Amino acid sequence: MRAVVHDRYGGPDVLRLVEVERPTPGNDEVLVRIHATTVTRTDCGLRSADYVFSRLFTGLLRPKRKILGFELAGEVEAVGAAVTEFRVGDRVFGVKGFGAHAEFVCIRETAPLAHMPTGMSFDEAAAVCDGAALALACLRKADLRAGQSILVYGASGSVGTAAVQLASYYGLDVTAVCSTTSDGLVRSLGADRVIDYTQADFTKRGETYEIILDAVGKLSFWRCRGSLKPGGTYVGTDGLRNLLLAPLVRWIWKKSVTLGITRYSRQDVRFVKELIEAGRYRAVIDRRYPLEQVIEATRYVETGQKTGNVVLTVGHDQRA
């Protein structure tokens, strides 16, 4: 089968599309023929080793896990003897820790995997789980209550579009920060108001919020501390520097600083599936690239200008 591998850390050019051995499912695993996957900010960070601490898990000098890719959508090709929930031919979507940038992948039946929502395409289903999982992790850190005010910074990205939709579902008053071109999109996802960051700095408008969620890892608590109400919560998706301030922030300003950490679970995949089928959540796709153009897709993601998700479509041939 074909897979995208990287034998060393570096820029997008370290990625190569090569032939590798097709995996065989274990007793409790399903083999999925992947039709679509995504390129995420996490993929880019792990490949470049910008997340320095991640080398403790991926390899200090060279990557031990050579195939990236977390999100996937496809069809069950084979099942292990102990598998009862899935059958050959089922259309599934979910998350695999590594390995989705390939034509096939094995994943445990108990992993974050579910049957695809009715009427959803493979491209759309592949672009759901990662952003939704991180957005859920961030929102749960904030002790949500209906009617709270939340500002989502970077509302047009993968995590941002998920956070706007989920915050709206939970009954929060949502202010989205993004560019002018994304105004209509984020309003359609549930934002009550939109601030164009190219025209105005939300920290200088005098408005305050109970929750500020930095969906793109570009803010700091220090910059937006004046925009957070007493007792409010700042939630980051990146930047451990913010956590170092947490004890001081709670003591001096009576506010909270925390970091959303993704924990993929099958319960969350099923929850988002229910929202999709109820018309309360949808995938947002910016661009689609064939697997062969993974380098171009990665370069685009690294511009930081994508709207929603970037999908890799996986074609299959006779060698698979």
Integer-rounded Cα radius of gyration of the chain: 20
Closest CA to 159 of 177, 139, 132: 132
- What pLDDT digit, counting tens, does each position of 15-67 carry? 999 999 999 999 999 999 999 999 999 999 999 977 666 777 787 789 999 99
What was the pLDDT predicted at 319? 42
The pLDDT of residue 250 is: 57
**Whether residue 167 sits in one domain with residue 88:** no
Nearest one of 217, 255, 262, 264 to 236, comparing CA atoms: 217
N- to C-terminal Cα distance for the chain? 4
Cβ(186)–Cβ(176) below 8 Å:
yes
Domain CATH for 187: 3.40.50.720
Q: Do residues 26 and 72 both lie within one domain? A: yes
pTM above 0.85, yes or no: yes
HEC secondary structure over 144-157: CCCCCEEEEECCCE
pLDDT at 320: 42
Tell me, yes or no, whether 158 lies in a domain. Answer: yes
CATH number for the domain that contains residue 91: 3.90.180.10
Domain identity same for 173 and 63: no
Give me the number of domains the chain comprises.
2
273 within some domain: no
Task: Give the closest residue to 281 by CA, choosing from 102, 61, 99, 129.
Answer: 129
Amino acid letter at 153?
A: Y
Residue 157: is it exposed, middle or buried by C-beta count within 10 angstroms (0-12/13-18/19+)?
Answer: buried
Residues in the chain with pLDDT values less than 70: 51-53, 239-254, 317-320
On whether both 63 and 179 belong to a single domain, the answer is no
| 270 found inside a domain | no
CA dihedral 300, 302, 307, 308 (to 10 degrees): 110
Host domain of residue 96 = 2-128+283-313
Is 320 within a domain? no
Sheet holding 256-259, edge to edge: 193-196, 173-178, 149-153, 209-214, 228-236, 256-259
Per DSSP, helices labelled H in the chain are 41-48, 55-58, 122-126, 129-140, 158-169, 183-189, 221-224, 241-244, 246-252, 266-277, 294-301
Same domain for 218 and 114: no
Residues 121 and 164 in one domain: no
Same domain, 121 and 137: no
Distance CA 178, CA 192 (A): 13
pLDDT of residue 51: 67
118 & 147 share domain: no
Say whether both 16 and 104 belong to one domain.
yes
